[in-house]
A and B are shown apart, each in its own frame.
Chain A
Amino acid sequence: MRRAAAAGIATAAAALANMLPSVGAHAASPSQDYALNCMGCHGTEAQGIPGKVPPLANALSRFMRTSEGRNYVLRVPGAANSALSDEQLAAVLNWLAVTYDSSAASSQPAPFTSNEVAALRRRPLLSVLATRSAVVHNLATTGPSPPSQY
């Protein structure tokens, strides 16, 4: 029973890997990059800390629905100044969006590409909270939105 399940799971894992933009041969997996670089503050379930650290679960993928939201995500401090390469950052964000979002598979946003990351992340936001508030306000008019405050 376990062995059969394992075989099915391995196939699904391969399917997931194919969904992600290709990552460099030497890059660690996105889940490991998340653990080493982000999870210490954003949490083991990407849940954040109320008042201190924004959640990524049920939030990140919603930001990814619009270009304004994607712009915001790539310019927050954790992304803009991170030592992760553009490829690694894209992979981590895409993995988070798939893994920590309870909405249906059909409404998953388009994954980030490393080109998109490279184009936007070099200009960190000046005022994160104010920008977040404005972006969330706009997102709320077109579908599920991430929390404005945290």
Chain B
Amino acid sequence: MKNLDRLVENSARSLAKRTSRRSLLASLGQLLTGAALLPLLPIDRTARAQEPARPSAAEQKCEYWKYCAIDGFLCACCGGTSTSCPPGTQSSPITWIGTCHNPADGRDYIVSYNDCCGKVSCGDCFCDRNEGEKPMYRLSRNNDVNWCMANSESNYHCSVSVILGVAEK
């Protein structure tokens, strides 16, 4: 419940800025009943982190469950973690999306694969997995394009994978 409180708190803070109270309650209701996902904010989380990266051993391996549709170098091997870009890089505001199964709890999660940009190729821990991945005509599920393309510094350095929420069945 503690995690849920934190999710609700974060979502309330971000939603309250821009929606009517009725919409806010409705959206929160969807989250609490588990019927829908409420996006967390990858960019916000990076900004709040402000601390040295401590990647786990698991997230430095290509077989890690969250990496089921990743394509590129694992930021967890490049000075970041699976949810933080390495120092001196910028996260991409646009991203591709995957749905990965977590064997630890049996749930499918929707994952956002942002790129970290502005430096040359990290060159370590290359990982290319393609569960549910689609060619570039279905851009939201495609991991081939350079997702740094819309950044002011668009060189590609590495990729993260950030849980957005539980996927519905």
Please list the residues of chain A having a beta carbon within 8 angstroms of any beta carbon in chain B. 2, 6, 8-16, 28-29, 31-32, 35-41, 43-45, 49, 52-53, 57-58, 83, 98-102, 104-105
Contacts and interface: CB of A to CB of B under 8 A. Distances in A.
A125 B95 CA distance: 25
Contacts of A37: 140
B20 A105 contact: yes
A6 B33 CA distance: 9
B61 to A, nearest CB: 25
Nearest to B14: A45
Interface of B: 1, 5, 14, 18-20, 22-23, 25-30, 32-33, 35-42, 93-97, 99, 110, 112, 138-141, 150, 164-165, 167-168
Contact of B110 (A32, A41, A100): A32
B140 A41 contact: yes
A31 B23 CA distance: 13
A100 B165 contact: no
**Most chain A beta-carbon neighbours within 10 Å: one of B5, B32, B139:** B32
A99 B110 contact: no
Contacts of A44: 39-42, 164
Contacts, number: 108
Given A28-B168, A29-B36, A36 B99 contact: yes
Contact of B32 (A10, A16, A35): A10
Contacts of B38: 31
9 contacts: A2-B5, A10-B33, A13-B25, A13-B32, A28-B168, A38-B140, A40-B94, A44-B39, A52-B94
Contacts of B22: 12, 105
Contact of A31 (B18, B30, B40): B30
B31 to A, nearest CB: 9
Contacts of A2: 1, 5
Task: Label chain B's interface by main secondary structure.
Answer: mixed
Contacts of A102: 18-20
A133 B33 CA distance: 41
A11 B30 CA distance: 10
Nearest to B93: A49
A11 to B, nearest CB: 8
**Closest 8 A/B residue pairs (Cβ):** A13-B29, A16-B26, A9-B29, A44-B39, A12-B25, A29-B36, A31-B36, A40-B140
Contacts of B40: 44
Most buried by B among A38, A39, A49, A53: A39
A66 B37 CA distance: 31
B33 A36 contact: no
B93 A43 contact: yes
Given A57-B18, A102-B19, A102-B20, A39 B39 contact: yes
Contact of B33 (A13, A43, A45, A83): A13
Given A35-B164, A40-B96, A40-B139, A15 B26 contact: yes
